[in-house]
Amino acid sequence: MRIEGSRVVVTGASSGLGAALAAEFARKGAVVVLAARRLERLRQVAARITSEFPQAPTPLVVKCDVRVKKDVANLVKSCVDRLGGTDIMVNNAGTAVYGETARVSVEDFQDVFEVNFFGALRCMYEVLPVMKRQGKGLIVNISSVAGLHGIPYLATYSSSKAGLMAVSQSLRAEQAIRKTGVRVMIVCPGYVQTEMFEKEKNVGGGHRPRHPYRPAPKVAAAIVKAIERGKRDLVMTLEGKALAVFKGLLPGLNEMTMRKIARKLRD
């Protein structure tokens, strides 16, 4: 897929992977729409993009809380009104609550799902009619290696990302048989250096993984390259690829691995 000239929306673009993705798309010549709750941070990201890539189109900044239907509707409408449509929608906004599953409240699960699952779903529902009218479009859902198998002390995040993967697969198949021109790509990064893993709530009983964290710009570059190549799915680490393969072939091995991780992360 050609990135130059494409109209690209990135949610969660105020920091971390979202900001890195926005910069990479801009570097490739896309018209980037930055969406997140923190307006001032979005403006800073936009200014940095303009400074680093003066040849790129000026980014569009839209304040949007993906938990709020009205905000998401306004985001997509802004793209239509100002850009004429949307070619790529990247659902990247995410959050997590750490800790032993038995200590995590139902409300904590609901809070995480509101962003990671329902937030992405709202964006898909709003942008889908636009893309169908265009006869083309790509929805990129940022899931996670944690969505391939439940990670100990990260049940909120794992389950929300697993749900996002499932709905992405359903939507992809439906759009394919209807020949709408809308494609769905699922991305499963590993551990990325973002503030989410430093600042999110921990209810105790276990701590976040201490795996090596990949720099967000490198992850973003790999994702954009995969989009250019037309890939349907992208699993980005050896650990993730092993989980994907062994999940069906050797489920016992996966379970043993998760128990080992649980022992390491237990408080």
Domain 7-265 part of CATH 3.40.50.720: yes
Q: Which helix (H) or strand (E) holds 174?
A: helix 155-177
Is residue 191 part of the annotated active site? The answer reads no
Q: What is the pLDDT of residue 123?
A: 99
Give per-residue pLDDT as tens, 47-80: 999 999 999 999 999 999 999 999 999 999 999 9
Annotated active-site residue in 98, 153, 157, 191: 157
Q: Which of 86-100, 204-218, 247-261 has the lowest mean pLDDT?
A: 247-261
> Given pLDDT bands bounded at 50, 70 and 90, which one contains residue 254?
very low
Give per-residue pLDDT as tens, 153-201: 899 999 999 999 999 999 999 999 999 999 999 999 977 866 655 666 7
Look up the pTM and report it.
0.89
Q: What is the pLDDT of residue 45?
A: 98
- Residue spans of the domains in the chain: they are 7-265
Q: Which of 123, 38, 48 is nearest to 79 (CA)?
A: 123
Q: Which of 167, 156, 161 is nearest to 203 (CA)?
A: 156
